[in-house]
Structure 1
């Protein structure tokens, strides 16, 4: 009993330590953002007169409203289409298993080993040659390709663990492949789809490198990509820079907190099945 209680307390201590390590940077950003502009705060010292107006100033200085619209447009262009393609590919590779499916999956698997930074320069010239440079499509199309290896592997892992008895029973009842996918497998894949959507939303929202390299206009970038332009303009104003960083991070935190149950349920589902 003593050993079990000791393990419980050790586990709780580790969780609390990890939580503190995770929260300290956000607390530091928040406290620093409340200091007067132009100052250089030291440590976690709470200001005598918190400057809540710094968040309004950062919102206006960085054109956050335009950046928010641009980020939403990029999200709408990336996430739904990536979910559609990866779900269809995952169903084909994980359940239908056509001839050569293992080799096709191996190609997707090799895509996970491709260094992201190694393809930025070729992407720049490719986007320039097809006339998409400095447009949102220069971010949307490369992200679709970059997300596919992981997304297809994620959905294939879900469909490959689906019981064959469900499909056999549906086939006996006369269901076609399309009906089998839409009426049986797709509803059962909602936890995996929702967690994949959360991941792709976060990755797209926080995309920095592609937005900076392929798009010159800050108002056409993602919010994280526009942070580079904001930093260049206000890099010496630490409180204002921290306020802008918090404004950019807030939507991703809200989305994750709102849908964390779906994300955890999908991970637990995969752990139980696999």
Structure 2
């Protein structure tokens, strides 16, 4: 199909318009972050990169970012391994009750956090897990595993069955088939899943807020909210704090965007 010059120009114009719509809020935040934080600071110039240092120190983001990294690493690692194992079982094996059990996993996607957060808090408090790493991480592991199981099941079911059969003929065990044959081919799908897990965990606000009532495990989004209410109402420092909180996700996506897009495209043609 041949595309005329007018159609090509129109496509680029539409993409440019939507690109500006998406990038305009981000550009506004960046401009605010580098702007003067006060009237006196405005007299010294319009460019103030020291806002990031001020926000980092006054907002105690070093502590909150470390907590977020710790929670994200635990959630991503545990949820990824469990999702791969569960997706492999549901996608390549047939056993009694597999369909019913899979729909139980899907409840983790369909039920919103707001509907279960209160009883979940009392359950974890009775186990002595509130204000601990596992109290914040375990609910997010369960949520991520629900999606990850669906994601990996769809991928494994879309694979050519001859690959598994050939490995079985060669004498490979199910464990070896998974980790040495299927996982290397599923790298784009797994990378996409890891990025999504990290984004969801990093941006999670409600679970750390409820599961850590004393603030012992306050994550970066909670720290940003506290910074807004307790330390300053200035838009420059608040914008700098927002950039600091969002920066890890941007960096991760920048380095893994090719694998992320490839995994999303492969997932689109699966089940």
Normalised by the length of structure 2, the TM-score is 0.91
Would the aligned equivalents of 1:218 and 1:226 in 2 still touch at CA under 8 Å? no
Taking the aligned partners of 1:102 and 1:96, their CA distance within structure 2 comes to 11
Give the deviation of 1:110 after TM superposition: 3.2
Taking the aligned partners of 2:206 and 2:88, their CA distance within structure 1 comes to 32
Q: 2:103 — aligned with what?
A: 106
Would the aligned equivalents of 1:66 and 1:219 in 2 still touch at CA under 8 Å? no
Q: Does 1:134 align with 2:131?
A: yes
Would the aligned equivalents of 1:234 and 1:240 in 2 still touch at CA under 8 Å? no
Taking the aligned partners of 1:8 and 1:116, their CA distance within structure 2 comes to 44
Give the deviation of 1:68 after TM superposition: 2.1
After superposition, residues 1-274 of structure 1 pair within 5 angstroms as 4-38=4-38, 48-218=45-215, 220-273=217-270
Taking the aligned partners of 2:238 and 2:221, their CA distance within structure 1 comes to 13
Would the aligned equivalents of 2:154 and 2:270 in 1 still touch at CA under 8 Å? no
Give the deviation of 1:107 after TM superposition: 1.9
Give the deviation of 1:7 after TM superposition: 3.4
Partner SS for 2:110? coil
Aligned length: 268
Taking the aligned partners of 1:98 and 1:12, their CA distance within structure 2 comes to 51
Pick which of 81-90 and 128-137 moved more. 128-137
Partner SS for 2:172? coil
Taking the aligned partners of 2:67 and 2:136, their CA distance within structure 1 comes to 11
Taking the aligned partners of 1:208 and 1:4, their CA distance within structure 2 comes to 48
Taking the aligned partners of 1:9 and 1:222, their CA distance within structure 2 comes to 45
Q: Deviations over 1:150-188 (max 9, x none)?
A: 111000010001111111111111112112112211111
Give the deviation of 1:13 after TM superposition: 2.2
Aligned in 2, Cα 1:7/1:80: closer, same or farther, shift over 3 Å? same
Q: 1:42 — aligned with what?
A: none
What runs of 5+ residues in structure 2 fail to find an aligned partner?
A: none
What runs of 5+ residues in structure 1 fail to find an aligned partner?
A: 40-46
Pick which of 6-15 and 52-61 moved more. 6-15
Q: Deviations over 1:2-34 (max 9, x none)?
A: 964443333322222222111111111111223
Give the deviation of 1:100 after TM superposition: 2.2
Taking the aligned partners of 2:224 and 2:121, their CA distance within structure 1 comes to 20
Taking the aligned partners of 1:113 and 1:218, their CA distance within structure 2 comes to 29
